Structure formats: C-alpha cells, structure tokens
Amino acid sequence: MNSLSARALVVMMGEWRASGSNAAYSAVADRIRLLIMDGRILTSTRLPAERELALALGVSRTTVTAAYSALREGGYVESTRGSGSVAQLPHRASLIPDSAAPQMLDFSKSTMSAAPEVIEASRRAAEQLPAYLGESGFDPVGLPVLREAIARRYEERGLPTSPDQIMVTLGAQHAIALISRTLMSRGDRALMENPSYPHALDALRAAGARLVPVGVSTETGWDAIAVEQAIQRTSPSLAYLMPDFHNPTGQSMPDELREKVLSLAARQGTAVIADETMAELDLDGSGTRLPFAAHGNAISVGSVGKTVWGGLRTGWIRADHATIRQLVRARSAGDLGTPLLEQLVVTNVLEDFPSILDARRTSLRAGREHLSALLAEQLPSWQVPHTPGGMTAWVGLGQPVSSQLVLAARNEGLMIAAGPRFGMDGAFERFLRIPFSGSAADLERGVSALAAAWSTIIRHPFSPASSELANVV
C-alpha cells in the first residue's frame, strides 16, 4: 500500500484556502476529494495521520478530524484501526446515475466520436480475420501488414522507416508505460513538460521516475534555456515530450529547439520519447512538421485514438531496431499483444487516413472557433489563447480557483479536469483545459455549465455535500 506524506499532500492541495469563508474542514475535505476524483491521489493510498496533516497545514487537529469524517461519509476515505485513513472511490453502486437526473457531460477527456470510415474498415477486418485463425493469436510485435502501413505513413511525412522499426501497442498510453518501465530504473530522473499529458505523468511516476519539469506556456511555448539546462545538469535517463500541438497548450516546438534537444540528449545518454498523437491535427494550415525523429535519435509514439476513434485501442512505437527488440522482450510482463481484429481495422483505416484527417481538422477548427465565441460571450474575463492545433484550449482563469470551479461544475452537470491534473506539485490552479472536440450542442451546454459554476464561486464560496459528489465521480 502506498503512503502519502503530509508534506506531499499539502503541496498537492495547493491554494486550498481559496474557498474564502468556507469552514476550514470543508475546504480541506473538498480539496482532498477532488484529488481522489482526479486520480492525483490513487485509491488504496494511505493518507497522512491527522496530527501530521494538521501540523503541515497549520490548522487544528479538530479541523483535519472533521475533514476526514466528511470524506468517510462520502465514501472517499476508509479508516481502520492499525491502517489509518485510506483513499478510495465511493462504492460502484453510488456511481450509477439516477435515471431521473440529467446526464453528466464529460469534458475531462478530449475525444471525438468514431470517424465514419471505421464502419467499413471494421466490416473488411471481419472478413480478413479468418485468414489468421489458424495461428496462436498472440502478437507482441504487430501484424506485418499494419507495421508496413505505419512505416509508409512515416515515409509520407518525411522520415524513412522500415516495418521492423515499428511495434504495435495497445494505444499510446500503453506505449509510454512500456517504454518508461523498460528504459528506466526506479529513482532515475525523467524530464517532462509542465503542464503535460496527465496519463504520461502517471506512467512515469508508476515507473519510479524522479520528475524534472520544464515549462511550456501558451504565450512563449517551451522555455528553451530551461530545457537545455535541465538536460545538461540532471542527465535524465528519459525525456517525455509532446512537440507537436502539445497537450494541453496546443503549442509546437520550433525545429531549432528539436535539434538542440536531441543533440544534448544524445550527449547525456537520455532516451527521448516524442508523443506524436496530435502531430497531424494542424488547424491553421501551417503545414505538418517533420516527425521529431527526423532531427535525431528519438522514440516516436503514435496512435489512432485522437484522430480516428478512442475505442480503437491501437498505437505504435517507432524506434531503432535494438530498442524495438528490447521492448518486445519486456512486453510479456504486462500483456501478450494487441488484438488482431483491431489491428486489421486500423490497417484498413489507414488507407483512408488523409481524408479522415481532413474531416477531423475541419471539425476541430469549427469547434475551436465556436468555443472561443462562447467563452467571449459568457466568460469574458477568462484569457482564451489561440490554439494552433490539437483538441483543447488551455484557458487562463485569472484566479487560482480551478479546483474549486471543477467542484462547482459537477453540480451543474459537467465533469472537467482541474488545471493541477496536468501539472506537478499542485501547479496550474489558474488554468482550465477545455476540449473543443465535441459537438456544437455539447460545447454550448458545457460553457453554460462553466458560466453557472463560475457565477457560484464568484458570489460565494462553494462547499458541496459529499453525497452530491458521490453520484458524479
């Protein structure tokens, strides 16, 4: 069982007193509850003892006792003699929405419904599958026909690639986790952007990495000097980067910095993961850059989860032959391969990939403009940057109230991740990631919910009853 120190929890809680006149115990309980719901505190994690947390927060032990009691009542903490207080999610039965209640709108994910081409691709895949039924079905590397298709796509983007440089995975997240646990040892340093893709943060932490953050902003992009110094001074074993239409800021790394990063990484012995799941979602027509690995040695990660459909749990790794062999050997500890039927679906989908991308870019461009207009009308005080590509806007709130806003939004029927979910050590309370990948109707409903939640927290502090939150996790 993992344990969370009082000091670490206080850092994660950030500006927990932003609730103003809320009773202190309610503010503490609200913030811990959100950390559990967002996955920043994993279930089965032992929370600090009441006395230790009280001392670290600078409050009375009575305050922490009352906060833990509120969390127990809501099903977010279980306390047993000898084991202390352990984080959990409410019983699954309480998570089933009331049929009479309005359906929750989920903005915590940036996704699109399946591209229409998936229907025909699936039909063709079902017809092709019988040819493989005489084999074992276990496929740790990937079907040759799919690896050939992926390699061709890299060739079309300007990076010569052979099929034996490709390994098919269970999506990009699986690829990141596999690379992290294979190429790092516990305690090794790992460089990554801050903010960043939260599930990559989770994967690196699970692999035991000591994270080295480098800043990315919507105004200036990467802090080039900080990136260079971090590589030179810390010699990380691994670096995780999203150089194209970075999640959540939407920025792209300049070519000169790509070359500098890879040159420094080669000198320091740092393996670089380039997450290119957003690379072909250019919305301004500026043209897709060469793949990151065209500038030097890098491990590329891709998938069809963002471009085609999240339900196709198929991704890939492009790397040198030695790295691919190493990853294949390590894979069996976690899984035995990617389902063949899904691989065949993706193989067929890639035949129509250019037209799929054109349609996706058109849809996302319209969503971006619609979201900007809605926010300008209903929440004019927020800072909405121009997003050159990707699927989300990294919006500035002007106040460190992101977590408080997210709690209030749940009462308005909207689930959305707080800014700190994308950062380290409780940072980014002034930001909110808003996807523009949904329908116009969903965007309108979502922004209306955010406007109502914002009005609530501006008028008076928010302190939801634990019973209210239990049904919308």
pTM of the model: 0.82
The CATH number linked to 317 is 3.40.640.10
State the residue range of the domain holding 399: 94-111+355-470
Residue 373, pLDDT > 90, answer: yes
106: in domain? yes
Amino acid at position 426, single letter: G
Residue 227 has pLDDT above 70, yes or no: yes
Report the chain's mean pLDDT, rounded to a whole number: 90
What does DSSP say about strands 271-275 and 238-241: parallel, antiparallel, or unpaired? parallel
The answer on 28 and 155 residing in a single domain is no
- 342 shares its domain with 362: no
Residues 10-27 pLDDT 10s: 888 877 775 444 688 888
Q: Residue 460: its pLDDT value, please?
A: 58
Indicate if 321 and 305 belong to the same structural domain: yes
Predicted pLDDT at 18: 56
Decide if 1 is inside a domain: no
Which is more confident, 292 or 44? 292
Residue 324 falls inside a structural domain: yes
User: Could you tell me which residue, 472 or 74, shows the higher pLDDT?
Assistant: 74
Same-domain pairing of 394 and 339? no
pLDDT tens profile 440-449: 999 999 999 9
Same domain, 58 and 106: no
CA–CA distance, 247 with 415 (Å, rounded to integer): 18
> What is the structure's pLDDT at 248?
96
The pLDDT of residue 92: 41
In contact, 231 and 238? CB cutoff 8 Å: no
- Do 263 and 132 lie in one domain? The reply is yes
Please check whether residues 42 and 59 belong to one and the same domain.
Answer: yes
**Rounded CA gap, 347 and 48, in Å?**
50
Determine the pLDDT at residue 83.
72
Q: How confident is the model over 309-362, as pLDDT tens digits? A: 999 999 999 999 999 999 999 999 889 999 999 999 999 999 999 999 999 999
Q: How many domains does the chain have?
A: 3
Q: State the average pLDDT over residues 146-162.
A: 97
What CATH code is carried by the domain that includes residue 434? 3.90.1150.10
Long-range Cβ pairs for the range 80-88 (8 Å, 24+): 83/1, 83/46, 84/46, 84/47, 84/49, 85/46, 85/47, 85/50, 86/1, 86/44, 86/45, 86/46, 86/47, 87/36, 87/41, 87/42, 87/43, 87/44, 87/45, 87/46, 87/47, 88/36, 88/43, 88/44
Higher pLDDT, 473 or 441: 441
CATH number at residue 33: 1.10.10.10
404 and 376 share one domain:
yes
Do 284 and 323 belong to one domain?
Answer: yes
Q: Given pLDDT bands bounded at 50, 70 and 90, which one contains residue 473?
A: very low
Same domain, 153 and 233: yes
